[in-house]
Amino acid sequence: MKVTDHFKKAKGKTLISFEILPPLKGGSMDAIFKNLDPLMDFKPPFIDVTYHREEFVYKKQASGYFEKTAIRKRPGTVGICASIAHKYNVDAVPHLICGGFTKEETENTLIDLNFLKVNNILALRGDARKFEAKFHPTEGGHNYAIDLVKQISNMNKGQYLDDNIINGQKTDFCIGIAGYPEKHFEAPNKKCDLQFTKDKIDAGANYIVTQMFFDNQVYFDYVKQCRALGIDVPIIPGIKPLTKKYQITSLPRYFYVSLPEALVSEIRKAKDDAAVKEIGIEWCIEQAKSLKAFGVPSIHFYTMGDAETISRIAKAVY
Ligand code: FAD
């Protein structure tokens, strides 16, 4: 079922959903299932699986020199989605990214997904590769997420890259996109960023999942700004608990999000990471309760492989 149909069926009830990462290359599906099993008690109607671009690593050669090599450390998104859908009978939502793929490769992946009956996609640009200062599109690939949204929308109309395909099968993908309550770090200003988001909706996207935030007011304001611009699709808040002290500097650095002073000062006072985790869980529970009271379509938890922590939060909220 489409993510948006799950919302229609829920009739205003706040659903729960999760995002998981594929295991590192060489890892097994069992680890994924072990992490997901306890979370299935909460009956998520859909589960997102991230996609990871190849990264550059420096590998020592026999000559003793280091060579820059590209490897994809977390392959398997499409297979994981099919496997999750099969085992749990839930909808799995693969993330598709522009970086690292030609349009042709993207089309072939979409064909695979369609045949597998995976009909939800989160369409993203992807980040810059490690050791690269900015995002470089792949030759023959897309520059921005909107181009990927357009490609998926075209396939929904039966239009494939090859003009010779007439009467191509119309796919029926429901398309999600990313939204940034605190602004995407590259956008010159909030207004531009919101307009680019609106453009993605106008190009065929059906819902938005937000970057994490730790102050709900930021999300409430974002929803208001989107609505004022005519963005009328569901806006799913994505949240995660803080569990380690170092995250008070690493999360702003990697995700360009800010942390409220009340949370930071509590964490600074914590004697160790076990105490930080308790503060983070409590904060996340309060966030989730208030989002639920606001009537959000779903609370989307970034699980980061930590089912135990997410289960504790979900139990307190649902
Ligand atoms: P875009 O919508 O293309 O926007 C990128 C930047 O370009 C923004 O600053 C935007 O304002 C600007 N922009 C957009 N259109 C134009 C235009 N026409 N002209 C000029 N500027 C423009 N990354 C992964 O690699 N894998 C994942 O699985 C993944 N999952 C994510 C899930 C969520 C919920 C979120 C919020 C992010 C996720 N990301 C993931 C990270 C995401 O790929 C990065 O944040 C990336 O930098 C931007 O992606 P986007 O889809 O928002 O890009």
Name the residue of 74, 97, 124 whose CB sits within 8 Å of the most ligand 1 atoms, as the mutation to test its pocket.
Answer: 124
Q: Look at residue 55 in the predicted model and tell me its pLDDT.
A: 77
Look at strands 55-60 and 46-49 and give their pairing: unpaired
Going along the chain from its start, the domains and CATH numbers come out as: 3-317 (3.20.20.220)
Q: Look at residue 265 in the predicted model and tell me its pLDDT.
A: 97
Q: Look at residue 245 in the predicted model and tell me its pLDDT.
A: 97
19-66 residue pLDDT tens: 999 998 888 999 999 999 999 999 999 999 999 988 777 878 888 888
Spacing, Cα 201 to ligand 1 middle (Å): 14
Lowest-confidence region among 9-18, 73-82, 188-197, 256-265 = 73-82
Q: CB-based burial of residue 211 (10 Å sphere; 0-12 exposed, 13-18 middle, 19+ buried)? A: buried
The pLDDT of 126-141, averaged and rounded, is: 90
In this structure, the residues whose C-beta lies within 6 A of any atom of ligand 1 are 50-51, 53, 95, 97, 124-127, 144-146, 178, 184, 186-187, 192-193, 196, 209, 211, 238
The pLDDT of 151-171, averaged and rounded, is: 95
* pLDDT > 90? residue 146: yes
* pLDDT > 80? residue 115: yes
Mean pLDDT, the chain, rounded, equals 95
The pLDDT of 292-301, averaged and rounded, is: 98
pTM equals: 0.96
| Banded model confidence at residue 266, pLDDT cuts 50, 70, 90 | very high
**What whole-number distance in Å separates Cα of residue 109 and Cα of residue 56?**
23
CA-closest residue to ligand 1 atom 40: 126
Look at strands 55-60 and 66-71 and give their pairing: antiparallel
| Banded model confidence at residue 73, pLDDT cuts 50, 70, 90 | confident
Spacing, Cα 63 to ligand 1 middle (Å): 40
Spacing, Cα 218 to ligand 1 middle (Å): 19
Spacing, Cα 51 to ligand 1 middle (Å): 13
CA-closest residue to ligand 1 atom 32: 178
Q: Look at residue 80 in the predicted model and tell me its pLDDT.
A: 96
CB 228, CB 222: distance < 8 Å: no
Spacing, Cα 96 to ligand 1 middle (Å): 11
75-92 residue pLDDT tens: 899 999 999 999 999 999
In ligand 1, the atom with minimum distance to the C-alpha of 187 is 9
Q: Look at residue 62 in the predicted model and tell me its pLDDT.
A: 84
Q: Which of the two residues, 172 and 63, has the higher pLDDT score? A: 172
Q: Look at residue 60 in the predicted model and tell me its pLDDT.
A: 84
* pLDDT > 80? residue 230: yes
Q: Look at residue 67 in the predicted model and tell me its pLDDT.
A: 84
Could you report how far apart the first and last alpha carbons of the chain are, in Å? 22
What are the helix (H) ranges across the chain?
3-10, 29-36, 77-88, 103-115, 145-156, 190-202, 216-228, 247-255, 261-269, 273-294, 307-317
Spacing, Cα 270 to ligand 1 middle (Å): 34
In ligand 1, the atom with minimum distance to the C-alpha of 180 is 36
In ligand 1, the atom with minimum distance to the C-alpha of 176 is 34
Look at strands 91-97 and 46-49 and give their pairing: parallel
The pLDDT of 247-274, averaged and rounded, is: 97
